[in-house]
Amino acid sequence: MNETAKKKTAIVTGASSGIGKAIAHRLVKMGYEVYGIGRNFDEEEIPGFHHVICDLRETREMLAAIKRIVKTPGTEPEVLVNNAGSAYYGLHEELNPEKIQEMVRVNLEIPMVITQQLLRILKENKGYIFNISSVTAISSNPHGAAYGATKAGLLSFGRSLFDEARKYGIGVTSILPDMTDTALYRNADFEADAAMDAHLEPEDAADAVEYALSVRKGVCVPEIVIRPQLHRIKKKSRDFCR
């Protein structure tokens, strides 16, 4: 009779910084118990936000982490946010196989595997899946061909998954942010322009998640594209540090 009451739960990958961190904090404010997965966290845990240290590239470690979350007393997974990402930029011939494989694994394979692991539970709870894709999914991407291809694959996965699972009450939303002020561009020779109308903030993606979750029951927002008013980037100096 003293059984732990079930709480609505969200799982967010790549939750230690940037867009994932912003979404995790927003979901906590919305009343979710959030299990944020990341390789390291530079902040103390706050009530409702549980840090799950895990390298998602290690399959056994990833599956064990998901299993631990699901089996935590009181959890009721309702929301999955596939946010963790990897990006390398430059002429395609200048990449190496390891960088290409990492982007395919982190940006596409891992979201598909985690979704597969949680889909039955999310169906039971009429839950919601968010895939954080990119505007590169809907345009050509010179100097980012492989990255854009992985994000296009994630967008395609989300579209197909919605049509496959919608009859069970599952919502699937792909969020396609443009240039966002995060560490995603640490391996690039460019970064977000500092002007507020020339880049997105991580909280803009969190706004999109909140909006998709706030529409009336029976309505789903399959895709949200977010762009700054101005199309502008900032070039780094030639000796920028990786």
Task: Report whether 229 contacts 197 (CB < 8 A).
Answer: yes
| CATH number of the CATH domain containing 38 | 3.40.50.720
Q: Is the pTM of this model over 0.85?
A: yes
Place of tokens 């590239």: 57
**Domain contains 94:** yes
Domain containing 42 equals 7-235
Per the domain annotation, does 152 fall within a domain?
A: yes
Q: Which of 55, 27, 29 is nearest to 40 (CA)?
A: 55
Q: Decide if 1 is inside a domain.
A: no
Domain count for the chain, please give it: 1
Beta pairing partners, 131: 82, 174
Which pLDDT does position 2 carry in this prediction?
Answer: 39
> H or E stretch including 29?
helix 18-29
Say if residues 176 and 133 touch (Cβ distance below 8 Å).
Answer: yes
Q: Let me know if residue 2 belongs to a domain.
A: no
* H helix and E strand count, the chain: 6, 9
The answer to whether residue 230 is domain-embedded is: yes
Residue that the structure tokens 């997974």 belong to: 77
pLDDT given at position 5: 63
The reply to whether 45 falls in a domain is yes
User: Residue 212: its pLDDT value, please?
Assistant: 98
Alpha helices in 34-165 (DSSP H): 59-71, 97-104, 110-124, 145-165
Q: What is the pLDDT of residue 237?
A: 67
Residues of the chain with pLDDT under 50: 1-3, 240-242
